[in-house]
Structure 1
Amino acid sequence: MNTSIISLTNVSRSFTSGLGKKIEILKSINLTIEPGSFNVIRGESGSGKTTILRILGMLDRGFTGDYDFGNHVVNVQPDWFIDELRAKNLGFIFQEGRLFNHMNLQKNIAIPLQLHARKFTPGQTDQTIKSLVPHFFGNNKNAQILQLMPSTASGGEKQRASIMRAVINSPSIILADEPTASLNGTLKNEVVKHLQSLCNNGHTVIVVSHDSVFYHYGRQLELKNGELKEISTHDAKPAKQKTLSIKSPTPTENLFWGWKPRASMGVLFNQIIQETLSRPIFLSLILIALIVGVCQVSVFSSVIIGVQNYVDDAMTTGSRLNRVEIKPKKQDRSQQNRFPVKSEIASWDNVDDVVPRRITLARLMTAQKEVNTYTVMGLHQNDPEYNLLEFVAGGTFTGNHDQLEVIVTVALLGDLFDTLESGETNYQSFIGKKVGIILLQFTKFGKIKKETTVFLTIKGIILHAEGGRQLYLPNTTHLVFDRYKMDRVDKYSLPLNDAADTWQDQQVVLDMANFPWEDSLHIYAKEMRDVMPIIKDVAKLGYKPKSDIWQFKWALDIQDTAWNIFLPLLILIILGVAITVSANIFTSAKLRERELALWRVLGMRRGDLVLTQVLSTVLSVTLGTIFGLAMSWVIVEQSKSLLVQRSAEAAMQSAVKSTQNFDAIFAPVSQFYLWIFLSALVIGIIASLYPAFRTAKTDPAKVLQS
């Protein structure tokens, strides 16, 4: 029965030199290792000792032949399985200790426990280390020694810490690569005793060394000319000695093919900080790229959003920046069709709608029993104006506009109802209330012939209307009222039915509304950018177009300029940040590949390395973005203050007071800081993923190379 814990059968390994010549390092090696045994592989430098140790440590899989580790055939196992098998069962001791310089000895020793996600509290981890200390450092000044940094510890102290790190996780096999190479005679003997003690406690020990201090204990093998031969065996292990068995990976550890992070958050957090601070030049490059980029993006975003807010506010308070208005030509005023070009204009690609209008006056009784006159405009079905009204209660007119309804502004409510208190009244409570419009008929000599009050139901309440207007009527109602007021011979009577709040006689309504009433034509552009071309084309037809766009064109020009600069700038910033992040990770990984490989050998999963690289990038991006947003906030606020000051100075020097709020073109950074912050994080994470995955595939075999 085969009781070996390791078995190599006809294992060969060759490399290709820089000149293309094949160099065979190992030739048909056959080796069996018994559990709990002490094995020494001798050989001169260059004989292939490190190569065979890398194969035994499952760090080099480019060999031919068979490798059985316990009950597992190493040759056919996937990467995640090999990583888990190595992490659970192998402890590595390296030349000169190979400790992490940014951690003290105690933290270095604790790494395997933390990487393997043992459910130990920090106190339990410290207690485990404390229980091992007397076996390696004696009982004097243990605490002080473990707090030493590797740079201040002696060679012997570092090597003993390295041995403690190798056994802290109770691996079944200890692989030692020239563990006494840099030590003097006394310290060499101490290392040998420690390894002997580990073997007596059940660990299987394999030492690769050409140091004669190991030649008188355990099984002796010699590697020469690529062939391995057993020389002798000393001090055979006791027959009933307890040995540590192989721990096999579990199916759950195959989650995400071994890319799932495993290390404790404490280790990962320390590694993230180390990843960030250990590369100050690259960190500075990322910070500079992000601070400058985020600041520029934020300032231009402030201008673009600020101008849009300014324009939207102008639309809400009465300006119609996407509308062009024309009046009938003199020769068309007496015609039934006052705008013969209406169909032609409606066919233009940049025109969304063409609507004839009539604007007249309406007299209303206020809450103080005073009669005030307001301008009123009629609205059609599916009228584009509905999209420009900001309703605070109610909504559009009913159905076919055949009801006696009205839409009023909040300001008009204050005139009509003395119960309105700003900020306290529920506007919805006014929906359905009545508004009386006073209609006057005059004689041909200009005297009042008749006065009629018609009551309309409030259908909607809006914040503002254009040009100081306070109310809108259904267009048919509007035309009936105007025709009634123009009636000098009592041809028409209002076809009212007050009980139903609707017109009683629809035929009379149609007759009254049928007259050349269009006193203006409103042309709605599909986009605000289309207004200027429409103005030019309408002028070519002989009309004099009117538009509110002129008083806001300066803001639109600023927005256009900002967009033209912003888009290519944004592309450059994204590319710059992405390239900086990727180059940072690639270059840093190249400079620190031995350190990263050592983490892998000690049991860090590839997923842990990816996570630390990505989170380190997130930390750098977060810092750079915060500083960039802070700088942009200062620039925006200073710019707004400067514009306010300059506007005030210009107003003092001019007799005409400016109505333009130039500082409004800057939106507060707080409006979009979260969007920029998240965008920067996404760009940083995406840019870091590929190099992080490439870095995680660093060959850990390089750690054991001489």
Structure 2
Amino acid sequence: MQDPTAHGAAGSDPTGPDPTGSDPYGQGAFGSTAPVSAGFALPLETDPRSKPAKPRGAGPLLSARGIQKSYAIGERKIEILHGVDLDLAHGESVALVGASGAGKSTLLHVLGLLDRPSAGTVELGGVDTWKLSPTQRSALRNGQIGFVFQFYHLLPELTAIENVLLPAMISNSTAGFRRRRAGLRQRATEMLEAFGLGQRLKHRPGQLSGGERQRVAIARALFNDPPLIIADEPTGNLDTQTGEDVLELLFAEHRRLGFSLLMVTHDERVASRCSRALEMVDGRLLTRR
């Protein structure tokens, strides 16, 4: 079988979301080094089990100021985001609601460091992320942000356990991952068993139901123990009961691990589970509650 460590390591930092969905992280090369700040050091080889507790400083975990985003289509300039400000506290859950086309997913891509804003700043743990080098930003994103997408974005040629291991593959050198493979696989196995997927470890995404695929995606998002989880319509492709089961899992992990959760949803019942709700209207952010 092909070495799965060869997957998901983009050669450079993207300026926008991967349209293929094959590398939703845009992680950058293996073995990323260079410390970003005293708060977020980015080691060459990281064992998620030995990571220190999530930093909980006096300020917000995530802070965005004056975020603007526009696209050029021919000679036209399309404005998507208009000076968005947002703070997300450590351990907080925030729902982002609004009509289709309001700019919710665009904002998540900017806040998740997948897309560069046209103007404005995004700070994560006090780090001004868009002043980092592409390699530093990729390493910060891989270690500090977990993503859960509506359409899962699992690599179809990898098994469930290999998909869960992707963040660890990327945050370690190839040699380092191979040295730690047994321990990391054991941890991934335990996570999937806890998520009710103990009999699906070697199944590929095409052999899994939608709910099973989303549980694999949640396990992958949590594997590096990031302080921030960004979820874009995590139940949007699931039936009502399966979506409810996935939400129960996600919020149970949120309570247990204490990560911050920023989630886009069209479902008011989902939004009501979060401690705060914001609404996007024509590229501007309004407070709902």
TM range (shorter): 0.7 to 0.9
For 1:114 and 1:191, the matched residues in 2 are separated by 25
Q: 1:126: which partner in 2?
A: 185
Residue in 2 that maps onto 1:91 = 146
Are the counterparts in 2 of residues 188 and 213 from structure 1 also a CA contact under 8 Å?
Answer: no
3-state SS, counterpart of residue 44 of structure 1:
coil
**Superposition pairs of residues 398-437 of structure 1, within 5 angstroms:** none
User: For residue 12 of structure 1, what is the aligned residue in structure 2?
Assistant: 68
Conserved 8 A contact 2:116-2:130: yes
* Secondary structure of 1:129's aligned partner: helix
Aligned match of 2:239 in 169, 184, 198?
184
Check whether the contact 2:164–2:219 (CA below 8 A) recurs between aligned residues. Answer: yes
TM-score (structure 1 length as normaliser): 0.31
> Is contact 1:195–1:205 with CA below 8 Å preserved after alignment?
no
Letter in 2 for 1:135: A
* 1:141-199 C-alpha deviation (Å, 9 max, x unpaired): x4431221211111111111011011011111111111111100111112211221232
SS of residue matched to 1:32: strand
Q: CA deviation at 1:65?
A: 1.6
Distance 2:168 2:134 in 1: 22
Counterpart AA for 2:201: L
What is the identity, as a one-letter code, of the residue corresponding to 1:70?
A: G
Q: How does 1:95-114 map to 2 (within 5 A)?
A: 95-114=150-169
Check whether the contact 2:161–2:189 (CA below 8 A) recurs between aligned residues: no
Which residue of structure 2 lines up, in the alignment, with residue 229 of structure 1? 286
Indicate the SS of the match to 1:207: strand
Residue in structure 2 matched with residue 575 of structure 1 by the alignment: none
Relative distance call for 1:10 and 1:49 in structure 2 (3 A) is same
Structure 2 residue 270 is matched with structure 1 residue 214:
yes
Distance 1:133 1:149 in 2: 14
Return the alpha-carbon distance in structure 1 between the equivalents of residues 183 and 121 of structure 2.
40
In structure 1, the partner of 2:206 is 151
Q: 1:39 aligns with which of 68, 83, 94?
A: 94
- CA-CA distance at 1:2 after TM superposition: 5.1
Stretches of structure 2 that go unaligned for 5 or more consecutive residues are: 1-56
Matched residue SS, 1:151:
helix
State yes or no: 1:203 paired with 2:256: no
Q: Residue deviations 1:430-452, cap 9 Å, x none?
A: xxxxxxxxxxxxxxxxxxxxxxx
Q: TM-score if structure 2 supplies the norm length?
A: 0.74
Percent same amino acid at aligned positions? 30
CA distance in 2, matches of 1:16, 1:121: 46
> What is the DSSP-based 3-state SS (H/G/I as helix, E as strand, rest coil) of the residue aligned with 1:133?
helix
TM superposition outliers: structure 1 runs of 4+ over 4 Å: none
Distance 1:130 1:76 in 2: 37
Counterparts of 1:16 and 1:99 in 2: how far apart (Å)? 30
Consecutive unaligned residues in structure 1, runs of 5 or more: 233-706
Q: Which amino acid aligns with 1:144?
A: Q
Equivalent in the alignment of 1:348: none
In structure 2, the partner of 1:412 is: none
* 1:202 counterpart letter in structure 2: G
Contact 1:41 1:220 in 2 (8 A): yes
**RMSD, aligned α-carbons:** 1.7
CA distance in 1, matches of 2:247, 2:106: 22
Any idea what SS the aligned residue of 1:146 has? coil
Higher helix share: 1
How far apart are 1:71 and its partner, in Å?
1.6
Match of 1:703 in 2: none
Kept in 1: contact 2:67–2:117 (CA 8 A): no
- SS state at 1:144 partner: coil
RCO higher in 1 or 2 (8 Å CA, sep ≥ 6)?
2
Q: Identify the match of residue 76 of structure 1 among 131, 145, 148.
A: 131
Computing the radius of gyration from Cα coordinates, the structure with the larger value is 1
C-alpha contact 1:38 1:196 (8 A) present in aligned 2: no
* Paired residues of 2:139 and 2:171 also in contact (CA < 8 A): no
Deviation at 1:211, TM superposition (A): 2.5
Q: Tell me which amino acid in the other structure corresponds to 2:86.
A: L
Please tell me the residue identity of whatever aligns with 1:5.
L
SS at match of 2:286: strand
Name the count of aligned residue pairs: 227
Cα distance in 1, alignment partners of residues 86 and 204 from structure 2: 39
What secondary structure does 2:278 align onto? strand
